[in-house]
Amino acid sequence: MSNLSVKERLALPPQEMPIQDSAARTKNMREVALGYTAEQAMREAERCITCKNAPCVRGCPVGVDIPRFIMEIQNGAFKAAIDIIKETNLLPAVCGRVCPQEKQCQLECTVGKSLKSVQKAVAIGRLERFVADWERESNKLTVPVKATWTGKKVAVVGSGPAGLTAAADIARAGHEVTVFEALHKAGGVMVYGIPEFRLPKSIVAYEIDNLAKRLNVQFKTNFLVGRTGTIQDFLEKEGFDAVFIGAGAGLPKFLHINDENLVGVFSANEYLTRANLMKAWDEAHAATPLFKSRVAAIIGGGNVAMDAARMALRLGAEQVHVIYRRTRDEMPARDEEIEHAEEEGVVFNFLCNPSTILGNEQGRVTGMELQRFELGEPDASGRRSPVPIAGSGYVFNCDTVIVALGNEPNPLLTRNTTGLNADKRGRIIVNEHQKTSLDAVYAGGDIVQGAATVILAMGDGRRAAAAINRILE
């Protein structure tokens, strides 16, 4: 570690992440952000001033010891760094790519606050990604220590971040774990929702393979809990001692306006699932039908909207427009994703929203009627509310509409599980230990929180696993 003073560290420039050229990357599905080199990672790590009160740790939903792992990177001890992260975060290669660090650990970074810019905070997420990739590419994976088998069995519903994290912690305690996944491939939203150009599927497969091989976690795909089998079946017929529900929130929200069922209208869920999980983009090898767009309009302003917009470009759309009823300042998407979309040619239409979808005699989308808005007073979330401007409607021509307004839990599981309490939105109600209203049944992730981040879902999985391990002692 270099003997730089705090003043000298604050003067060091942030290391820019290398990325693919914007014109080239819209023609391929390869990852946009290319990652730090070892030299860049060590330089960026030197910017950390190792605060005694470690505010960055408070900003991390799973409490990673950030100053300690960054200090190891400063010393070039990359293996020690990744081992520290994995004490609390089992998916660092994923979190380093898709978690909103600028709203969590990096928001609290003293360096960023000293420089009055969260963009100049120490790039904690990029450093996390670097050492995770280094471990995988160097084949330096530490084999998890598994306790002696206890004879207890736990069922995990869903193989997304919450489910995988819970499965790992429960398996390490010596319990037999089986993960039940509704789709034909494990990984949850990391596989069907997040595009390859943001999160390569080989990384998710690597983590799942490690769970299966090193901790003997069993995976059963094409198993829809609530239809193929029930929570009661697990506990009363299959001999499971506890259940964790991490089924996510896969029910898309729609606009509820006229002609939303026209050909060319998609939920972002369907659009991204076709492209990501079912590889519609790979026409030479996949049988998944690909809808050919000329002008695609994406409704929404979150990360899923950015994913859908950037995917539409890669699927051949000539123009892609994001339709958002507030301004850029209110968009919930990560700044990095918005910037990448802009670089790639996505057009942003702010302060407008569709009132009607238009179609032709063949039942296909021809456009939308858009209503203009202005911003009024802040709503319950703190964002200024959009107020429609009377008489300001106009026609926007397009042949594809992708609705990216968020998701809610699929009600199938809760409706078919007697005694499982949920709120009016279908989210399972849990206590501080993630326990549901049913004995030995716990839940976490999007099915509890609504749309959450990967790291928040993982935090739920860790709390639930700890509670399950306690009751099975």
Contact present, 211 and 168 (Cβ < 8 Å):
yes
For residues 16 and 183, the answer to whether their CB atoms sit within 8 Å is no
d(CA 375, CA 277): 38
Fold of 254-405: FAD/NAD(P)-binding domain (3.50.50)
Token pair listed for 161? 């971040």
Residue 26 phi/psi, 5-degree rounding, is -75, -10
CB contact set of 171 (below 8 Å; sequence gap of 6+) = 146, 177, 211, 215, 216, 217
DSSP 183: S
Sign of CA dihedral 238, 242, 246, 249: positive
Average pLDDT of the chain?
94
**Which pLDDT belongs to residue 111?**
96
Phi first, then psi: give them for residue 256, nearest 5 degrees.
60, 50
Q: What are the sequence ranges of the domains in the chain?
A: 6-138, 153-250+408-471, 254-405
What confidence score (pLDDT) does residue 145 get? 77
pLDDT higher than 70, residue 1: no
Tokens encoding 27: 């023609």
Q: Which residues contact 141 (CB under 8 A, 6 or more apart)?
A: 135, 210
Domains 153-250+408-471 and 254-405 share a fold: yes
CATH 1.25.40.10 corresponds to the domain 153-250+408-471: no
Examine the pLDDT at 451 and tell me if it is beyond 90.
Answer: no
Tokens 């050909």 belong to residue:
263
For the chain, what percent of residues have pLDDT higher than 90? 86
The answer to whether 312 and 321 are in contact (CB under 8 A) is no
Residues 393-444: tens digit of each pLDDT: 999 999 999 999 999 998 999 999 999 999 999 999 999 999 999 999 999 9
Instruction: Report the candidate in 224, 310, 219 with the shortest Cα–Cα distance to residue 272.
Output: 310
Look at the chain and count its residues. Answer: 473
Extract the tokens encoding 299. Answer: 């409704």
Max Cα–Cα distance, the chain, nearest Å: 73
pTM for this entry: 0.93
Q: What is the pLDDT of residues 145-172, one digit of tens each?
A: 788 999 999 999 999 999 999 999 999 9
- In the numeric block, the tokens 């529900």 are attached to 245
d(CA 433, CA 449): 14
Identify the bridge partners of residue 378 per DSSP, sorted by sequence position.
Answer: 384
Q: Is 383 buried (19+), middle (13-18) or exposed (0-12) by CB count in 10 A?
A: middle
Contact by Cβ (8 Å): 455, 95: yes
CATH 1.10.1060.10 fits 6-138, yes or no: yes
Structure tokens at 6: 């705090």
pLDDT in tens, 210-225: 888 889 999 999 999 9
Whole-angstrom Cα distance, residue 313 to residue 316? 5
